[in-house]
Structure 1
Amino acid sequence: MASLRRWLALFAVLAAAASTGSVSGRFVVEKNGVRVIRPEHIRGRHDAAIANFGVPHYGGTLLGVVMYPDKNTTACDAFDGTPFKFRSKRPVILLVDRGGDHPAWNAQQAGAAAVLVTDNTDEPLLTMDNPEESQASDYVDKISIPSAFINREFGETLKKALAKRTDQVVVKLDWRESMPHPDERVEYEFWTNSNDECGPRCDDQMSFVKNFRGHAQLLEKGGFTQFTPHYITWYCPEAFLLSKQCKSQCINRGRYCAPDPEQDFDAGYDGKDVVIENLRQLCVHRIANETGRPWVWWDFVTDYHVRCSMKDKKYSRDCAKDVLRSLGESIFITTSYSSVIRKSNLLKWFGLMHQGCLWTRSPNAWVILKLMSRMMS
């Protein structure tokens, strides 16, 4: 197990390094605007990456005064009392340095209305995610303030203005531009994974799917929403392409990978099994959407989780077919696994599938074509 952890750590480091080098694709980052109102000499608009925790004010704005703590600048530790609650007539937007484990929670507990985390290196904006430790679940769901990540240059500008102590630094956080289609239909994206052996995160995700399924289907059938599922994947570093690990966790020569579900390379299912099932579920959504019944995806994903779990050793293509048959959706079996292969516009079909569904660091439609063809063979 120790050697597995070391390999995974090295894999992550090399993947991160590669992502800043030759690979042109990057993870999608949802952004909101930050406009500096005061002081005059730094007025202007900047981008911020919306965090994967907290509650953004979608469609709204928040005007507040920026404060930077004299100590505990990463907000790694809890602040004494609520020092930011009554420091200003306006809401306090706390500026903290990157590196703390719980900045949003500690800022909220200290009375801040929002938190801006400034990067400590020059790089494109990243999406802040929840901490991995199990204790995080005790407070992550309780975070109610918006959180965002800003680049180092903007963060340093704010710090210098605050250091002068001659004028308040007032900014407006703007989430109105995060609403791309201001009409009567809501378009939303759901980031998911078919792996059901990744611990509390998988359990929470599946619990959400089960609980939201009925609501989502009613909204889709009424034309009030349009959703798109996305499945996260990454690639194997070139130095490891011939390794046992990459061969078991990836398909298409290391281009598409997922972590080992049990974190054991010698037992159980492999990461490539997850990649294939993810793509199969994308197939279901694509065809369901094209036939005007996108809500079928929710039925398939929910039933697949119940009937085809890894724990019961039924996580397979055959079980997926059984689920579709039980739902009365045999069209998906013939269309997605047989007749689609015979169509002449395969590349166009998979290209569309890539644009709308498969979220990856390496956006090449022809790779997806080969990937899916291999899967269906």
Structure 2
Amino acid sequence: MSQRNKGAALALILALTMVVINVVSGSARFFVEKNSLTVLNSWKMGAKHDAAIANFGLPIYGGFMIGSVVYAGQDAYGCDSFNKTFNSKSPYPTILLIDRGVCSFVLKIWNGKQSGVAAVLIVDNIVEPLITMDSPSQDEDPDFIDKINIPSALILRSFGDNLKKALERGEEVIVKIDWSESIPTPDERVEYELWANTNDKCGVHCDKQIDFIKSFKGTAQILEKGGYTLFRPHYISWFCPKELLLSKHCKTQCINQGRYCAPDPKQDFEDGYNGKDVVYENLRQLCVHRVAKEKNTSWVWWDYVMDFNIRCSMKEKKYSRECAETVVESLGLSLEKIKKCIGDPDADVENEVLKAEQAFQLGQENRGVVTIFPTMIINNAQYRGKLEKTAVLKAICSGFKERTEPSICLNADIETNECLEANGGCWQDKRSNVTACKDTYRGRVCECPVVNGVQYKGDGYTFCKPYGPARCSMNNGGCWSETREGLTFSACSNSETSGCRCPLGFHGDGLKCEDIDECKERLACQCDDCKCKNTWGGYECKCSKNSLYMKEQDTCIERRSGSRSRWLFTIVGLIAFAGISLAACIFYKYHLQSYMDSEIKYIMSQYIPLDSHNINEDSKQMTTLVVLNED
């Protein structure tokens, strides 16, 4: 390609861009997406302040961060590595304050991340309204930009100066960076848009776009099939100035007589694909979504885009109308309806679909102008940050009102793993693997957990302790415990809801307990003829041969009480035997008397037949005589 052609191509691209900028300046303005920032420990600076969210990194959409501010220092612009780690004296994560100037925003924040901070605030160096810290252009995109995984924001010069003065006075500055209101929540459905391009040879940006669509496709379809979201694809286009309509450049980059244009993929108008091919495919993909939506299957757009990228790649020279129509038919969409939606690209008329796209691109009401791609807009707010599945899903989920989120927002699929690095700056008990770091789609929070029904209490940053009746089951309630020779002693008691106390026989603060030597400290076994031996957690005391040690009285007594007991037992036994014998004798006499009475009556009835009354009287007398004679 000649230098003349290159110059013409660049001139045309500049002309197209300038036309868009002029239209924008007359009818809309660029919106700066913001989060709020509050100084928690200063009533002078305690009001909410605005901060402009950077267009890269990972904002914590739907969540917040509390951190301690550290100033990088005068003339420390962060353009070179700090070669040190910034640590605040506070238990909170460190937020680094860097002055604007000298080098790019991206480089400053990268070097801040390398110094181990949790977030970076850039202080503006001039008095002006907030602007968005943008990522470098495609040609200047550094390799490390995708590795920036911390949030950052730009703050006003006046507010930054106040923060620096407080730090210079030796004051601790604790701030809360809050993204919870960055994405509006108007209703129970989230509406979002993806501004993209079908050109797959535009370098890093195109690669990032297709990688995102590939990874986010399944999640997007789940959200849309469930009716949780309303998705619309959009494509950026330009238009050609009237004075260039008949030029070769406009004819190769535009359709509908210069109304809708796209830059040449290679900026070479005589070789390969041109901008006109890109605009035409952009229009087709818009029509695919429109026709699929009429069938209530709008999520098929994601399938079409992925299949087209695989089967009809520009890099493989398969980027054609015929290939695209094959993909359309394979997905069961009406090819005739899509052709009707596309219309005649050579006609000197407005295209209904692309005209609407340009209106959306220029912004409406309180939404900003779309100037770069890929760009995501969620509930009319431009998404800032890395175009990555987890980060985007977090932002979409923050667009739901709290407690109305679909289940996909509450599962591990969108965990950010902020707790994996330095435990998120939260408290952790490594012995029992209990942590206060909780990773949710709304961001990391330091909150004392509930583990196996045991509630931990504390600030979540420096300490958490188990509380309640079952606390001893969790790492012994954080108290001392030790086992020796099969004996276990603990300073934790389930009868107490908190605190540690050394058990009997030990002394200490409950976190560490040591055995008391009762013998050495003369706390026991002080009686005459006593021999004391210290044991772990107790003691043993022995008396002389004929004595028994009484621990409660700490004294020895003679063993005579045992012989008395044996004599007493013997006497009681003899008395019991005598009583049993007497009872047996009385029983025997009574039984013998009854037997003799019956025998006498029988004899008298045989030999002396008398009337029954006389017989009974005589038998009683005879029995009495017999008994008396026996006695």
TM superposition score category, shorter chain reference: 0.7 to 0.9
- Matched with 2:63 is 60
Instruction: Write the letter of the residue equivalent to 2:302.
Output: W
Higher helix share goes to which structure?
Answer: 1
Matched, 1:105 2:106: no
Decide whether aligned partners of structure 1 residues 315 and 40 sit closer, same or farther in structure 2, where only a CA change above 3 A counts: same
What secondary structure does 1:64 align onto?
Answer: strand
From 115, 120, 127, give the equivalent of 2:120: 115
Matches within 5 A, 1:71-220: 71=74, 73-82=76-85, 84-86=86-88, 88-96=90-98, 97=100, 99-100=103-104, 101-119=106-124, 122=128, 125-126=131-132, 128-129=134-135, 132=138, 136-137=142-143, 139-150=144-155, 154-163=156-165, 165-166=168-169, 167-181=171-185, 186-220=190-224
Deviation at 1:119, TM superposition (A): 4.9
Decide whether aligned partners of structure 1 residues 253 and 287 sit closer, same or farther in structure 2, where only a CA change above 3 A counts: same
Deviation at 1:239, TM superposition (A): 8.0
How many equivalent pairs are there?
351
Instruction: Write the letter of the residue equivalent to 1:143.
Output: I
Alignment TM-score, normalising by the size of structure 1: 0.75
Instruction: Write the letter of the residue equivalent to 2:132.
Output: L
Whether the aligned pair in 2 keeps the contact of 1:119 and 1:155 (CA below 8 Å) is: yes
Deviation at 1:77, TM superposition (A): 1.9
Matched, 1:303 2:304: no
Matches within 5 A, 1:28-43: 29-37=32-40, 39-43=42-46
Counterpart CA distance in 2 for 1:45 and 1:16 is: 37
Decide whether aligned partners of structure 1 residues 55 and 256 sit closer, same or farther in structure 2, where only a CA change above 3 A counts: same
Q: Deviations over 1:206-254 (max 9, x none)?
A: 2332333234323322334443323234456788677654554345676
Deviation at 1:318, TM superposition (A): 3.5
- Matched with 1:368 is none
Q: Deviations over 1:36-88 (max 9, x none)?
A: 55654454434434333222111111223444422564422221121x23354
Whether the aligned pair in 1 keeps the contact of 2:33 and 2:132 (CA below 8 Å) is: no
Instruction: Write the letter of the residue equivalent to 1:132.
Output: Q
Whether the aligned pair in 2 keeps the contact of 1:57 and 1:146 (CA below 8 Å) is: yes
Q: Deviations over 1:133-158 (max 9, x none)?
A: 58733x333322112344xxx13431
Instruction: Write the letter of the residue equivalent to 1:136.
Output: P
Decide whether aligned partners of structure 1 residues 156 and 63 sit closer, same or farther in structure 2, where only a CA change above 3 A counts: same
Deviation at 1:329, TM superposition (A): 0.7
- Matched with 1:319 is 323
Structure 1 residue ranges without an equivalent (≥5): 342-346, 364-377
Whether the aligned pair in 2 keeps the contact of 1:60 and 1:176 (CA below 8 Å) is: yes
- Matched with 1:360 is 361
Decide whether aligned partners of structure 1 residues 239 and 211 sit closer, same or farther in structure 2, where only a CA change above 3 A counts: same
Aligned-residue CA RMSD (Å): 4.0
Decide whether aligned partners of structure 1 residues 68 and 290 sit closer, same or farther in structure 2, where only a CA change above 3 A counts: farther
- Matched with 2:280 is 276
Structure 2 residue ranges without an equivalent (≥5): 344-349, 365-631
Alignment TM-score, normalising by the size of structure 2: 0.47
Structure with higher Rg: it is 2
Q: Deviations over 1:256-302 (max 9, x none)?
A: 44332112232222223323322321222233234321211011111
Matched, 1:222 2:223: no
Counterpart CA distance in 1 for 2:342 and 2:258 is: 25
Instruction: Write the letter of the residue equivalent to 1:264.
Output: D
Which shows bigger deviation, 13-22 or 200-209? 13-22
From 238, 262, 265, give the equivalent of 1:261: 265
Identity of aligned residues (%): 48
Instruction: Write the letter of the residue equivalent to 2:55.
Output: N
What secondary structure does 1:212 align onto?
Answer: helix
Whether the aligned pair in 1 keeps the contact of 2:37 and 2:175 (CA below 8 Å) is: yes
What secondary structure does 1:177 align onto?
Answer: coil
Deviation at 1:6, TM superposition (A): 8.9
